[in-house]
Amino acid sequence: MTYELILDEISQLTIAQRILLLEEAWDRIFQSNEEIEIPRWQREELDKRLAEHKTHPNDATNANEFHATLRKSL
């Protein structure tokens, strides 16, 4: 079965069925022991952000504050 045929089959499912399918797919990915390669540019960005956080730890906004600010702006 080709990638396009799989997508066509998935598009025939209901939204609820697609969500369940995605949940199952993520669970299987999580349970596999395969290494996921992180691109170099992503590693560099993560290193940069971590270094920035270590330099200025109080500049960060926690998730609750972020969500509250976001809700107010909507």
What pTM value is reported for the model?
A: 0.49
Reported as half-sphere exposure (CB side, CA atoms, 13 A), residue 43 has a value of: 5
Based on the fold, state whether residues 9 and 29 are members of the same structural domain: yes
Q: Which portions of the chain are predicted below pLDDT 50? A: none
Based on the fold, state whether residues 16 and 46 are members of the same structural domain: no
Number of domains the chain is built from = 2
Cα-based distances in Å from 22 to 4, 30, 72: 17, 12, 31
Based on the fold, state whether residues 1 and 24 are members of the same structural domain: yes
pLDDT of residue 60: 86
Based on the fold, state whether residues 53 and 30 are members of the same structural domain: no
- Extract the tokens encoding 15: 């939204």
Provide the domain limits for residue 4.
1-36
Amino acid at 39: P
